[in-house]
Amino acid sequence: MFSKNLELYRKANGYSQRALAQYLNISHTTISKFEKGDLFPNGEILVKIAKILNVKTYDLMKKYNDNFEIKIPYFRKKKISEVKLEYLLKKIRLEIQDFLYLDNLDKREKEIFNYTQYSWHNSSDYEASVKFVKKQLSLHFEEPVYDLTYHLENNGFVILQSKYPNYFDGAITYVEGYNNPFIIINDLLPADRHRFTITHELGHHFINFDEVSYTEKEQEKSINMFSSAFLLPDNDMKAIFGKKRTRISLAELGIVKKKYKTSLQSIVMRIHDLDIISKDYKSDLFKYFSFRKIRTNEPYSFSKEEPTKKISLVYYLYLSDILSLNRAAESLHIPVEEIQESSILT
C-alpha cells in the first residue's frame, strides 16, 4: 500500500514527483519507482517523506480497508478536487480507525448516545432549534456554553482533531455499526472559527430539513444562524447591545467575542438576525473588517478548546498496560519521551 499512499499524499499536498525528490535530495525517477512499487525507501527517507507530507510513517504504510464504511455528508468548502477529496477521506478514515481500535480496547462502560433530530419548518426556526438541542444536551437555553468541546465529549460525541489542509474546516460523520457520531475538526483553525465550526457540525447532526425544500446553500445559511444563536443567547445580546443600534464599536464586539468565544463576524451576523442592527450596517461592518483585514486575522484572541477524550483514553490504556508506549505516542502524534514524562509511575 505504500506506493498508492505516497502518490495520494504527494498529490494532495501539491508536490510533483520532481519537487518531492528535490526536498529529499534524490532523483525524481526514484520517486516514480516508489509509486510504481518497484522500489521501497530506507527508514531515513521514509521518515523524511512523512515529515514533508505532514503524515505519520504509519499513514504511509497503512493498508486501506475498503470494507470500512464512512459517510461524509457535509463539507464547509465546496470546491475540492477529486484528489484532495480522496486524500481528505483517507486521512479522516485513518484517524477514525485509530480511535475505534483504541475504543475497542477500553472495556469500561461508555456513554449512551440517544438523541432525536429537530424538524426545520421555516427560516425563523433557528431559535427553537437551539432550545431543542440545548435541552437534549442538558444545557441552559439562555446561558452561554463555556466549554463546548468538553460538554459534547461527555455527551457521547467523539471529537477528533488533527492537522488537515486549509481547504477543510470540519465535518460530522458516522461509522456503520458504531453508535456515536464523529466530529472531525482541523487543528489549524484559529480559536474563533474552531467553536463555530464544531457548533456548525452539531447543527448538521441535529437539524432535519426533510420538511422544507431547501437548497444546500439555504441549509448552510440556516445552520450558520443556528450556530450563532447557540453560542450567543438572545437575551444576552439584547442586554449587551440594546434592542436597536445604528453604530457599534469594535471594542464592544471584542468584549463579546472573548466572553462567548466566537468570531466578530458571527457576532455581527447574530445581532443582525436579532434585528439589533440593519442589513446595511451589517454590510458596512463587514466592509470595515475587510478593509482592516479583520476577516482573516481577527483581534481579541482567546484560548482554543481542545478535545480530551482520545488523550485520556490513550493514557488510560497505556497506564493499564493495555497499550504499548510506542503505540500510545503514535496515536497522540507526540514523542515517546512526552508520554513517559507526563505519566506518573510508581
| Domain limits for position 187 | 118-291
Same domain, 283 and 217: yes
Identity (one letter) of the amino acid at 124?
S
- Determine, yes or no, domain membership for 265: yes
Taken in order 67, 72, 73, 77, the sign of the CA dihedral is negative
Residue 43 CB contacts under 8 Å (≥ 6 apart), including other chains:
none
In a domain, 103, yes or no: no
Q: Is 113 inside a domain boundary?
A: no
Per the domain annotation, does 107 fall within a domain?
Answer: no
pLDDT number for residue 76? 54
CATH number at residue 178: 1.10.10.2910
Say if 153 falls within a structural domain: yes
Place of cell 447591545: 241
CATH (domain of 8): 1.10.260.40
Do 48 and 169 reside in the same domain of the chain? no
Q: Do residues 227 and 333 both lie within one domain?
A: no
The span from the CA of 159 to the CA of 185, in Å, is 7
Q: Is residue 302 in some structural domain?
A: no
Residue 88 lies in a domain: no
Determine which helix (DSSP H) or strand (DSSP E) holds 72, and give its type and residue range: none
pLDDT at 78: 59
- Whether residues 53 and 134 fall in one domain: no
Q: What is the pTM of this model?
A: 0.82
Residue 130 lies in a domain: yes
List, as one string, the DSSP characters of 103-168: HHH--S---------EE--SGGGHHHHHHHHHHHTT--TTS--S-HHHHHHHTT-EEEEE---TT-
Q: Which amino acid is at 112?
A: I
How many independent structural domains does the chain possess? 3
Domain identity same for 261 and 287: yes
Same domain, 237 and 139: yes
Same domain for 333 and 239? Answer: no
Query: Of 41, 64, 87, which closes a domain?
Result: 64
Residues 129 and 168 in one domain: yes
pLDDT tens for the 346 residues of the chain, in order? 788 888 878 887 788 999 999 999 999 899 999 998 889 988 889 989 988 987 778 778 776 544 455 666 666 555 678 888 888 888 888 889 889 889 988 988 877 788 999 999 998 899 999 999 999 999 988 888 889 999 999 999 999 999 888 888 999 998 888 889 999 999 999 998 999 999 999 999 999 999 999 998 899 999 999 999 999 999 999 999 999 999 999 999 999 999 999 999 999 999 999 999 999 999 999 999 999 999 888 999 999 999 999 999 999 999 999 998 988 998 898 889 999 998 886 5
How much is the pLDDT for 56? Answer: 77
Cα-trace Rg, the chain: 23
One domain, residues 231 and 132: yes
